Chain A
């Protein structure tokens, strides 16, 4: 089975090399999509064993992931993993996220709310995530324990059916919605997330909601 780990990166010079090295321990092909970084993310990525694709202008995480997905489609990969560049996810959990796909599932989503302990900030856990879950349910009709996890894996069938159209952070909800719409079999897998000072804020949560609404109107 041909597998690829897609890492979208924007201004991640501090973490990108370590993230690639860690991912490489569990997967042969790692692809970094440098999303118009202003720092040395591109140069540092090229020094690793990863394949590097460069967006000349920053287009957002969703768009970088879709570029990675398109690379995987064109190069006949059977399985893709989406992994963040900022070191929040644990590469050692890659085999766990792949496991359901070996057992007949089409997509597996990492969930921060299924047992494993993530030191999620209180406001994020009890307010932002609950609003996110409610929005996903009301707008998209999807019920999952984690509405915005960026750690996921999908097989070829899902890769062909899910084309990410939201350039920004709304891609998480979009992937969930398309999984549901296309009747793809999915499973949530417990993951650990290491939190730092960055990540999605309340303001960017609103931006995600705005992107979802505009995308819905524009269809």
Chain B
């Protein structure tokens, strides 16, 4: 019971924080929607914590349902970090291409200027 109350309190705090961010236009509506759906989905297993406990017990696991949810959350976080890392690497590659084109282009322009001055 207490586990559920704590988990729900955390979810409500995050949703409240999200609403403030949205109200102050700090996040876009699609990002707001994504995180609202995410937290609502996270609330579902918390709601059925006792049933998850029973399923895990029948499967032969000794840990409680809340532990299982924490493991899942950590796995999800690792996945998110990995995806973010790949995204950053892609953005870095694009930035390099942009910097390269600007560098080569400005060199070409400098050369054209010099030719015109001659």
Contacts and interface: CB of A to CB of B under 8 A. Distances in A.
* B is bound to A: yes
Give the secondary structure class of A's interface.
mixed
A59 B96 contact: yes
A218 interface: yes
* Interface residues of B, dominant DSSP: helix
A217 B99 contact: no
Contact of B100 (A51, A67, A214, A215): A67
B96 A53 contact: no
Given A165-B93, A214-B85, A56 B104 contact: no
Contacts of A53: 103-104, 107
Contacts of A54: 103, 106-107
B81 interface: no
A33 to B, nearest CB: 8
B100 A66 contact: yes
Given A59-B95, A63-B96, A70 B86 contact: no
A55 B85 contact: no
Interface of B: 85-86, 89-90, 92-93, 95-96, 99-100, 102-104, 106-107
Interface of A: 33, 51-57, 59-60, 63, 66-67, 70-71, 74, 165, 167, 214-215, 217-218
Given A165-B93, A218-B89, 18 more contacts: A33-B103, A51-B107, A52-B107, A53-B103, A54-B103, A54-B106, A55-B103, A56-B102, A56-B103, A59-B95, A63-B96, A63-B99, A66-B96, A67-B100, A167-B93, A167-B96, A214-B85, A214-B89
